[in-house]
A and B are shown apart, each in its own frame.
Chain A
Amino acid sequence: MVSSFLHPLNIFIVGLGGGFLIPLLSRLGKRWVAIAFILSIAAMTLISGFSFLILLQGGPPIDILTGGSTPPYSINLRLGLAEAVFAFGVNLVALFGSAYFVREKYGTMVLYLLVVMGIQGMVMTRDLFNLFVFLEIVSIATYGLLSLQETPAALSATFKYLMATILASTFFLIGTVLLYGATGVLNIDDLIAKSGLIVGPIGFTGLMFLLACLLLELKPFPANGWGLDVYETAHSGVAALISGGVSAGVFFALIKVLPLFKPQLDLIAALGATTFVFSNLLGLQQTKARRLLGYSSIGQMGLLTLAAALLEQSSADEAAFLVIAGLFVNHLFAKVGLFWLAGYLGKERLQDWSALVGPPAAIFVFGILLAALCGFPPFPGFWAKWQLVMNLAASQRYIWIVIVLFGSLLEAAYLFRWFGQILQSSGKTDRLSRSSVALLPIFAMALLLATSGCVAAFLMGLTLWTSIPLIAGLILYLLDRVSGRTKCFGVLALTLVGGI
């Protein structure tokens, strides 16, 4: 009985049912709407979390059928371990982020609920046209949510975002239709099985249009001006959702169809590498916080694309899962936390973030988010990059290792420079006037990063001793009042223990 309530299909039933019920409930009062909103997201998170736990313990992928029939006649969805990581991660972020939207009009809540459901759909579906429909669900909900910020700059940025993404969706539709024309199937598994039929101009053009859409949506360099303006001007909760959630859906869609693109994997990797390196180069020049976060987001998606293409080439499925899940979870929690922090502070320039120095908790959580983003242990980004480099070294593709490390170095450079700028100019800006309660979701992200880091390390077979440096730093910070000599002694003791 329990398992049938927690079946993944209910994610869509709850999402759609909740979305349709909310306008009816709004006649009863705002409180009912807020309750329904949070309950729906909590239910979706519970379902995806439960499935994630089952799959983590080695259960088989869950196949979800619709329409009373089996594929290829009807549409099917699948929840495997990779899908569960993405779905559960996005759900957690959405659950914590819903705190920022609870006071909005009911239309906004409907759009938020449906965008989360749409991302789940993009991740789980196994039908190409269904992927298009869910892509449109996510896009239109995003367009609606972007209207929350009403400044002219935000509206212009949104309109450019609109034009780029609508063009991308049209390409996806053209690609789907041409692929159907060449092969006669719409189911992704059948398409991969029949990829031998995708020869000739019609099939090949279809493939290229599909690839063009997915890559365009991931905002590659140099066609990413429209994305950056949106990151800079949108409501911070919405920017967090676009950077984490929507990118998750689009990226997972790319992974799903990647087996169709075997001859083009080098090109995809090169595009990902260019985006990663150049976004981080441009990130070095930024003076505004949100724009810097935008460049970092685009760079991370470039790194993920690069990793996905290279690992698909070497067909290393185990390693691929660890790398991609690790990099993605790292990017999701850290970036979302930073965007929320941006909304909390409301300060545009990098050095104005020194307002964080007031409450010690705030600067601590900021430090954790930055450390995770730079790829330090024990956060999942470190393990994922390590695994990626090991895998590339094993197949002797050294030039890619250089690119990955160079881009990561650039990112660490501007992130640490930002941290330094904040510490230096503290005391010159005003203190925070908002309460610390609004920091709670951001804390949750930091906690999730630490937990997932431990899980990732565990999955890779490494022990928790590798997180000694961070724990040591934490202990020393807390014991700041103790005299200098005691602190030095403490460091030596910890190094001894850790070394052994």
Chain B
Amino acid sequence: MTSNVVLTTGLALILIGMWGLLTHRNILRIIIAFSVMGTGTHIMTVAIGYVTNGTAPIIDRALNLSEAPVRAVDPIPSALVVTAIVIGLAVTAVMLAYAIRLYQSKKTLSIDAFTESKW
């Protein structure tokens, strides 16, 4: 039950991020939308690893070695999420740097000033 709620939240965040990405015209809001989408993905990842009534996969007073394989939560998605969060941070930093350069070149943050694609 818990992970169903968490999974739905994650998926809803991904949808919100997609909506923001497609509709906003301000570059900074588009970058925030990407960030929201990334967060939704991370939440979804953690939700997929949950085991009913499980606890963190750390062997200490609360969880001893013998009952760990039964009561621990899946460690792999958590490891993947650590990497994914760092990568998301790096990508957001590069996007923001480009936003600053774009602003300096045309003094506007609207993406309409920068779309000139044609065949």
Contacts and interface: CB of A to CB of B under 8 A. Distances in A.
User: Do chains A and B stick together as partners?
Assistant: yes
> What band does the interface of chain A fall in when counting residues whose beta carbon is under 8 Å from B?
35 or more
A129 B80 contact: yes
A374 B35 CA distance: 44
A159 interface: yes
B114 A156 contact: yes
Which secondary structure characterizes the binding site on chain A? helix
A166 B91 contact: yes
A147 B76 CA distance: 36
A229 interface: yes
Given A136-B87, A159-B98, A153 B41 contact: no
A285 to B, nearest CB: 7
A166 B95 contact: yes
Contact of B94 (A144, A153, A282): A144
B73 interface: no
B117 interface: yes
Contacts of B77: 177, 180
Interface string B98-115: 110110011000010011
Interface residues of B, number: 34
A177 B50 CA distance: 13
Given A166-B91, A170-B37, A156 B119 contact: no
Contacts of B94: 140, 143-144, 162
A181 B7 CA distance: 12
Contact of A177 (B45, B99, B102, B119): B45
Contact of A159 (B38, B48, B102): B102
A163 interface: yes
A188 to B, nearest CB: 15
A14 interface: no
B34 A166 contact: yes
B37 A180 contact: no
B105 to A, nearest CB: 4
A347 interface: no
Contacts of B119: 282, 285
Interface string A130-146: 00010010011001100
Interface of B: 14, 21, 27, 30, 34, 37-38, 41, 44-45, 48, 76-77, 80, 83-84, 87, 90-91, 94-95, 98-99, 101-102, 105-106, 111, 114-119
Given A173-B41, A226-B117, 5 more contacts: A143-B94, A155-B101, A159-B111, A166-B91, A173-B45
